[in-house]
Amino acid sequence: MQQEDDLRGLAKVMEFMRAISIVFIVIHVYWFCYQSFVDMGINIGVVDKILLNFQRTAGLFGNLLTTKVFAVIFLALSCLGTKGVKNQEMTWNRIYAAFLSGLVLFFMNWWMLDLPFSPMADAAIYTVTLTIGYILLLMSGVWISRMLKHNLMEDVFNTANESFMQETRLMENEYSVNLPTKFVYQGKEWDGWINIVNPFRASIVLGTPGSGKSYAVVNNYIKQQIEKSFAMYIYDYKFV
């Protein structure tokens, strides 16, 4: 119970840090796109005074990159406590692509504030690129955290750990029963086949209740044997 409370507390701290990161982005846009907000009739006097005090005391808005750097720092800290299941489609190349794209869109878009358009148009373009860059950085941060925390030795079903190559050929004849499978080998998911080329020797299916014997095996046997005009005798032993 104490561990669950600690995890919930950690999750709240991570959410709070992410909220601070978003606040930095919002005040960054409000400060550096201030003219566009004035043109839209948005002028919050209290917020203006608070931001001016921050500027006088800490020089927070003296450079375009300052608030962005603070936003990225709090975003990175919020990603440290992220827990989740590793997705098979998640690769380091994909993470690198998202991270680099996010950095470019987030940090290298200052020139969009000086485009030869109206202040509102410049602000809209700048905000869109900033938002997309932030989302890409968030995605890559979460993925990196999951990849680094995912211990392959804890994968009891050997989903992520390297397995062996299985049969991928469909070997079909006039008597065969062919069961489709999926397996993981060298980090890639493969489509395979279990080929019972001589079912006349009889087959036995063992498994606990609810393990999917009927769905995966027995139903395929019945369907394929009926399609080939064969008869079957099925024993369904229980509690033996």
Whole-number Å distance between alpha carbons of 26 and 139: 19
Q: What percentage of the chain exceeds 90 in pLDDT?
A: 15
Q: How confident is the model at residue 129 (pLDDT cuts 50, 70, 90)?
A: very high
Model confidence pTM above 0.75 = no
| Residues 191/166, Cβ–Cβ less than 8 Å | no
Q: Are 47 and 30 a contacting pair, CB within 8 Å?
A: yes
Band (203; pLDDT cuts 50, 70, 90): confident
Average of pLDDT values for 177-197? 85
Other CB atoms within 10 A of residue 132 CB: 15
Which helix (H) or strand (E) covers residue 229, if one does?
A: none
> Could you identify the residue written with the tokens 């003219």?
35
